[in-house]
Chains A and B, each alone.
Chain A
């Protein structure tokens, strides 16, 4: 009874929920970015996007693999990715936004990367070692993602009149999807209280700073904080997720258990 345990005393279902949230963000954004493969405006950009998508899908395997382990019902990362329905996905709405033009894809990436970077940086100190280990690994990759998306947002924002216009439009359009990153619920509170994750609100200051800094260099204007869309983290998605899943899950749905 009185034996000390190294495992933080936390509800495993809350932990599972968090792992789905972080894993699904990587999966859905990885899929979105992979849609550019063969279509990017330049070969180097095509390769960069494919690499980013590959990193995110590799990270998905780590997060969803751990989710399956924590759940303890024998579900693998593949099971979780390919055999859940839309309402069981926990990604934020931002990552399911359509790619739009190249500027919009980059803006979505930057807004996400800045947050992802801060989240992983905090998770490196998680009281749950398995989470800290994955964060240590993935943080290095995401640092490259942020370097690149930030650089391109600045170059295109402070580029031609046309690129500036498109980047400002992308920013205005995506901004209402950024609020969801910083809204916590009881699951976040329980895990943050146990030192496993940072409270979502706590990442806002750092994110604001990274974003404000890049926007000022890019000559883009930060939109006013108005209505913010949310729901993805509890399974309420936009219609776009259904289209993503119909492609992403097609093979396992049409040919259950197919391997090669």
Chain B
């Protein structure tokens, strides 16, 4: 009966699309692909969120940001639900999200290049380079090299452009 008083699910999605990722504020939580579902269960707004990395310290902040953003829109009865499966993948980062990452100086993930545990080194050697043609977000050159598979946050790797010499982050595929 009270359903009509609820903002629509579409509206809630829209509000969430305005919540920035705390570590990479140029993209939103929806562009990052970590909001998996938004639904009303009676009077409770249930938002299903999937973590990027198990140990990502931003997870707690993200939950607080969601609650705060919805509270500002007048939604007090919000429940956050963690969903592990299907596990988050960088494939879920939207096209707009990728463009924003690039503009911000972070090379977006190249789908299909996630670590396989053992073969990467061999593939690197066979292909004669270690970067799957990751383009420098500054000058677009693909003459880039990996400095480290781990970067400033769990989701990034460190790269360097050998043309413009700029070091940059690569949002690694997972």
- Asked whether A and B interact, the reply is yes
**Which stretch in B33-41, B68-76, B103-111, B144-152 binds the other chain?**
B144-152
Chain B interface residue count: which class? 20 to 34
Mark each residue of chain A from 128 to 162: 1 if its CB lies under 8 Å from any CB of chain B, else 0: 01001110111011111011101100100000000
Q: Given A148-B149, A151-B121, A210-B118, A136–B53 Cβ distance below 8 Å?
A: no
B-side contacts of A154, CB under 8 Å: 121
User: Complex: how many Å from CA A62 to CA B83?
Assistant: 12
Q: Are B115 and A58 in contact (CB under 8 A)?
A: no
Q: Are B53 and A55 in contact (CB under 8 A)?
A: yes
Q: Are B86 and A136 in contact (CB under 8 A)?
A: yes
| Total inter-chain residue pairs, C-beta < 8 Å | 94
User: Complex: how many Å from CA A24 to CA B59?
Assistant: 22
Q: Are A52 and B150 in contact (CB under 8 A)?
A: yes
- The reply on A51 being an interface residue by CB < 8 A is yes
8 Å CB interface, B140-168 against A: 147-152, 154, 158
Q: Given A54-B57, A136-B85, A147-B118, A47–B154 Cβ distance below 8 Å?
A: no
Most buried by A among B56, B84, B88, B89: B84
- The reply on A44 being an interface residue by CB < 8 A is yes
- The reply on B174 being an interface residue by CB < 8 A is yes
Q: Contact residues of B with A, CB < 8 Å?
A: 51, 53-57, 84-89, 114-118, 120-121, 147-152, 154, 158, 172, 174
A-B contacts besides A47-B158, A146-B117, A147-B116, 12 pairs, CB < 8 Å: A44-B158, A47-B151, A50-B150, A57-B55, A140-B114, A141-B53, A142-B117, A144-B149, A146-B118, A147-B118, A147-B120, A151-B121
